[in-house]
Structure 1
Amino acid sequence: MYHHFCDFVNLFASQFLNSTNFGQDVEIFWWDTHHSGFVDSTFGVTWKAFSFHKPHELVNYDGKKVCFRNAMLPLLARQLFGLYYNMPWWMAVREAAFSMPSHTTFSNVLRHTLSQILNINELLQSLLRLKNVEAKIVNYERNGGLNFLEQLKATHNSDIFIGMHGSGLTHLLFLPDWAAVFEIYNCEDPNCYKDLARLRGVKYWTWANEDKVFPESIGLHPTMKTPHKKFTDYSFDVPEFLRIVQQSEFSDD
């Protein structure tokens, strides 16, 4: 999901910078030459935000001559020293019409990542004891009962979005402007979702105190067989968890 939604960000930026035809009455070509075509069953509804028309598959034009009156190639794809990782920090401007909610909604991402939160119910109960707080665990698995549009609605109605390092955090792109992201543990990949939060313009927090996070095991990479923090499960110190949550809730930095 993370990599695919960088494609959508790229498409938006390309249309925005072109600006001569920044609308939905455009034809999009999927630049994919796999014999089975472009399959996007999970996130396919997202293309409707960019075009009224179903995108064309490039494989359908194999061996044919196609003429375009007006065509645009997109910006370069996401890369280490390219578009996304070096985009400047920006924060959404809070106009008077956007009042900060007095009631805070937390969404805790439940998605089968390589690392699981062992004491997730304990963390949830600690949130529920806070004043004026609604907290819930949202299952973003394909078989979790919510279709993609319902998942987006749950995300967009969250004030603080919480989850382990994993593709489910890509939902932060759909948070409201005042929201914050708490990546509970980045598993030694500190820039991935921090950069995505910066791109979206929402606040970002992650765990810092290694003495208050407790891995279940060393965790071994499945192919390299070397220690790797993405391949084990974790428990987290509850008071430290609440401290970071309250910091992200009330800070304007």
Structure 2
Amino acid sequence: MRILLLGGTTEARRLAGLVAGEHTVITSLAGRTTDPLRPAGELRIGGFGGVDGLAGYLRDADVDVVVDATHPFAATMSGHAVLACAAVGVPLLVVRRPGWTAGPGDEWHRVASLDAAAALLPRLGRRVFLTTGRQGIAAFAGLDECWFLARSVEPPTGVTPRNLEVLLDRGPFTVDGERELLIRHRVGVLVTKDSGGSAAKLVAARELGVPVLMVDRPPAPDAPLVSTADAAVTWLRALGR
């Protein structure tokens, strides 16, 4: 089969590695990172030009199946995939890692959006560890009373908070490392998206009694859904029979 893999996540890279020897895999990345981790198989970088552009690509590239393994917050791309696949008649599978669940000792405050997080933040703490990705930093630009440590793979662009220190780093991260970071910067509140995956920062926050502002993920697309790369392989093999 010719598989278009909408990637950018650990699950997408693992899936590409699992099936590249068995099928033709074309991983598509949005291009927001200048030095992405390269997956197995073919690679394309950049957008498609909306639903019509993606549908046209599926026809022109003779794609047999699309696997949406984008970030859980890439709602626009996921929505386009649903509509384009329906228009062309190409099967779609969605791979979404499970979200996080609060446990004993956690102080989580769940909100529906970054704007809601910014509105609540000053009541929870003034020294903030911001791990929402560089595109989410602008939502906090008006909070001059807060100090922010923002971690991202690449520097933020556009409007940013006045009191901002940027830490350029890429995971995976360890609990020991996250604990040391929170202590060293005297962090009073952690802001993050419910992206799932490694929870080292959440464990460290729990141990130190640091409250967490958790931005809920958007609903999953209306398509077959699995939570792991291995489950996606099983689904693809069943499809190819």
TM-score (norm 1): 0.32
Query: Structure with the greater relative contact order (CA < 8 A, sep ≥ 6): 1 or 2?
Result: 2
Instruction: Kindly name which structure, 1 or 2, has the bigger radius of gyration based on alpha carbons.
Output: 1
Q: Which has the higher strand share?
A: 2
